[in-house]
Amino acid sequence: MRKGCSKNEIIDFLEDSYANDRIYFIVDDLEYLKRGGRIKATTMAISKMLDIKPILQTNDGLVEAFLKVRGMKKALSRLVELAEERMEEPSVNEAVIINSDMDENVELLKEMLKDRLGVEKITVYNIGAIITSHTGVGVVGLWFRHKR
């Protein structure tokens, strides 16, 4: 988005982004999802035993299950694959990493985005108490402008 846009251009950009873009994120510990009634205890136990990391996505303002991947490194790699498939002009556009207490994984994700896609602009945000009250700490996610 360029500087000096009109109010209508900004509104159009935001509406387009809301309709087309997603945030993909990985929850490391499923305990809070179980406590909140979002997953069953048996699902949590099996996922923990098999080291399954769910990748969730936002869609039309809601959070929904998207993929299940074994291991955090594979889950991070899958986020990069999603960006590779869906990101509009990776060398020009920004990638935004959100996280809560996942510094090591943030650095790994940044490296992967730079090495595999040539993403130059990466911004990192720490998420707050509202989201972590549902997911616990140990969340890492990725937002980028999707191809139109």
pLDDT for 107 = 96
Q: Does the pLDDT at position 83 exceed 90?
A: yes
pLDDT for 133 = 76
Q: Does the pLDDT at position 1 exceed 60?
A: no
Which bin fits 48, alpha (ψ -120 to 50), beta or left (φ > 0)? alpha
CA 70 from centroid of its chain's CA atoms: 17
* Residue pointed to by tokens 């985005």: 113
Is the pTM above the cut of 0.85?
A: no
Q: How far apart are CA 138 and CA 29, in angstroms?
A: 7
Domains identified in the chain and CATH numbers: 20-144 (3.30.1180.10)
Give tens-digit pLDDT for 10-53. 898 888 888 888 999 998 887 777 777 777 778 878 888 889 99
The SS3 call for residue 53 is strand
With cut-offs at 50, 70 and 90, classify the pLDDT of residue 77.
Answer: very high
Q: How far apart are CA 124 and CA 105, in angstroms?
A: 12
